[in-house]
Amino acid sequence: MEKILQAIRENTPEGFDYEWLGTFVHAIGVDSLNYKGYLPEITDKKDYARNILCLEPFECVLLYWPPGVESAVHHHKGFWGYVLCLEGTVDNIEYIQSGGQLLESRTIRAQAGGVLNEPDNTIHKIVNPSKEEYLVTLHFYYPALDTLDRLRIFDLDKGAIATLNEKAPTASFAHPKDNYHAFEEDAFSYVSLEDNPKTRSHRIYPIIPKPSSKDIAELIGGYYKEQALEYDSFDLKHKSRRKYTERINALIADKLSKSSVRKVLDLACGTGRRALKIREESEASYDLMGVDLSPEMCAIAQNRGVNAQSGNWLEMELPEESLCAITFLYAYGHIPTEEERRKALKKALISLKPGGLLFFDAFNLNDKNEWGPHAVKAYEEHNLASFGYEKGDVFYKKVGGEEVAFLHYCEEDSLEAFLEEIGFDVIDLKHIGYVHRSGEILDSDDEGALFVIAQKR
């Protein structure tokens, strides 16, 4: 820690800016940082503690958070900075002030080594989401805040705004009255994501650094365990999702009805509903197998008559050239890295007979109506490449849910080249409307998901 403080004092250039400070913070090696001796004493288990380490040429302050503790929502007006997570997990929840409303905007989660951006005019709160673990964060601000005087904080439950004075030790409503300059009652109404009619059913939820492939698999497993019993009803009651899946089901069924197939594998089969529907619509009588990470969903698929097994596709034992076709629906994007996507497709190639068919859909990075462009913006704004992200990676949550899942968005040209390189010929690629013009086959490159029919050479 002394080396960091020395570097701040000696190596900060005059007239440094937000970008320079970001580069400085991103370069700090958390693993070698000895911060334990600088931790402030926690005197209240319901509040965090602060230890200001330096104020010139910018502020460096160490914060220590008991389990479940969060700051009040507060406004960074006239100062900016970064938060480096040293230990534990931190959620940064951001808000937008619009008229008389405060709208929940987005959440970014950081683990040890992750950096959160706090540009000027940010309205946010910092949360330790763990019920058991302590959180340690190192904050860098300019201009320095030797006190929290004039910082405005928001009470989401009461719609009140308080202005702190120099006595306030933290951004909180739990202090004595003489820690505040003023209170504004009924100053705003709070709109959460759950209450916002413009919010979609899911939201982006970046995690930095990017978790390991093993951890991502566990996240996805937890997400689908949470969704298992209501997954089919969600598909069926959401008109856009239903039209999208029905169109792809019909395209696959039509192709299979014209082919002589005897054995089909459904990768990421889920509850088996779609695979069975495709077989029914194709009027074919092929053997249907399935594999899925979720034991709960596999159990449902088995009860419906699918020969399904729970596990990782890459670890599944299957004879070479034993399958006539493979369907891989709404799940290709769950594979966390390019290397693993290559392995998954290579295994599919080996498992298919010569001339065998692969059907799958992928989210389009360039779809202006979907998360792809937002993923690119987040990738650039938060320097996610330095945290192990590939362009197009997205973590997300169902609004109101607790579990996190992962998707990778693809670009059409690179996806075709990828398949060709592995040993497939792309015999058809269509853009299918998902959010906008759901289920329609689209001509525009910047709309719709990518539906691919590929054939083993």
Residue 76 falls within a domain, yes or no? Answer: yes
Does 109 lie in the same domain as 235? no
Write the CB contacts of 29 (distance below 8 Å, at least 6 apart in sequence).
none
Q: Please name the residues in contact with 324: beta carbons below 8 A apart, sequence gap of 6 or more.
A: 259, 260, 261, 262, 263, 264, 286, 352, 353, 356, 357
Say if CB 413 and CB 428 are below 8 A apart: no
Average pLDDT, the chain: 94
Domain boundary among 120, 150, 180: 150
pLDDT digits (tens, 9 = 90+) for 11-34: 999 999 999 999 999 999 999 899
Residue 233 pLDDT greater than 70, yes or no = no
Residue 117 in any domain: the answer is yes
Q: Which of 73-87, 209-223, 420-434, 441-455 is least confident?
A: 209-223
- One domain for residues 221 and 106: no
- What percent of the chain lies above the pLDDT cut of 70? 98
229 pLDDT exceeds 80?
no
Question: Residues 50, 121: one domain?
Answer: yes
223-250: average pLDDT: 80
Angle, nearest 10°, between helix axes 213-227 and 295-303? 50
Q: Helix 412-422 crosses helix 338-351 at what angle (to 10 degrees)?
A: 50
User: Which pLDDT score is estimated for 381?
Assistant: 86
> Is there a domain that residue 191 lies in?
no
Q: How far apart are CA 412 and CA 425, in angstroms?
A: 14
Q: Which residues pair with 452 in a beta bridge?
A: 360, 429
- For 341-350, the pLDDT digits (tens) are 999 999 999 9
pLDDT digits (tens, 9 = 90+) for 355-389: 999 999 999 999 999 999 999 998 998 889 999 99
Same domain for 143 and 234, yes or no, is no
Task: From 126, 150, 174, give the residue that closes a domain.
Answer: 150
Q: pLDDT-based confidence at 66, cuts 50/70/90? A: very high
Same domain, 220 and 123: no
421 lies in the same domain as 335: yes
Exposure b/e, 177-200, CB count within 10 A at least 16 = b:
eebbeeeeeebbebbebeeeeeee
pLDDT at 88 over 90: yes
Distances (CA, A) of 161 to 151, 152, 171, 183: 10, 7, 12, 6
Average pLDDT over residues 270-296: 94
Q: Is residue 162 part of a domain?
A: no
Does residue 128 sit within a domain? yes
Shortest CA distance to 394 belongs to which of 412, 403, 406, 411?
Answer: 406
- What CATH number did the domain enclosing 87 receive? 2.60.120.10
pLDDT given for residue 216 in this prediction: 94
Is the model's pLDDT at 232 over the cut of 80? no
User: In this structure, are residues 284 and 277 in contact, taking their beta carbons and an 8 Å threshold?
Assistant: no
Residues 410 and 275 in one domain: yes
- Count of C-beta atoms within a 10 Å radius of residue 131: 7
pLDDT of residue 202: 83
pLDDT digits (tens, 9 = 90+) for 43-65: 999 999 999 999 999 999 999 99
Dihedral of alpha carbons 338, 339, 342, 343, sign: negative
The residue segments making up the domain with residue 355 are 213-456
CB neighbour list of residue 298: distance below 8 Å, 6 or more residues apart: 269, 290, 291, 292, 308, 309, 310
pLDDT-based confidence at residue 241 (cuts at 50, 70, 90)? confident
293 vs 44, higher pLDDT = 44
Q: What CA–CA distance (Å, rounded) separates 50 from 170?
A: 8
CA distances for 331 relative to 8, 267, 413, angstroms: 46, 8, 20
49 and 143 fall within a common domain: yes
Count CB atoms within 10 A of the CB of residue 220.
22
CATH number of the domain where residue 230 is located = 3.40.50.150
Let me know whether 113 and 217 are in one domain.
Answer: no
Q: Which of 150, 167, 182 is the last residue of a domain?
A: 150
Name the pLDDT band for 228 (thresholds 50, 70, 90).
low
**Structural domain contains residue 235:** yes
Percent of the residues in the chain that have a pLDDT greater than 90, as a whole number? 86
The pLDDT of residue 50 is: 97
Same domain, 233 and 310: yes
Q: Say yes or no: 8 and 144 in one domain.
A: yes
pLDDT of res. 255: 97
Backbone phi and psi for residue 3, each to the nearest 5 degrees, phi listed first: -65, -35
What whole-number distance in Å separates Cα of residue 286 and Cα of residue 256?
A: 10
Decide if 242 is inside a domain. yes
Q: Are 268 and 245 within 8 A, CB to CB?
A: no
Sign (positive/negative) of CA torsion 277, 280, 283, 288? positive
| Structure confidence by residue, pLDDT tens digits, 387-403 | 999 999 999 988 888 88
CB 230 within 8 A of CB 296: no
Mean pLDDT in residue range 74-80: 97
Number of domains in the chain: 2
pLDDT score recorded for residue 230: 67
Residues 143 and 231 in one domain: no
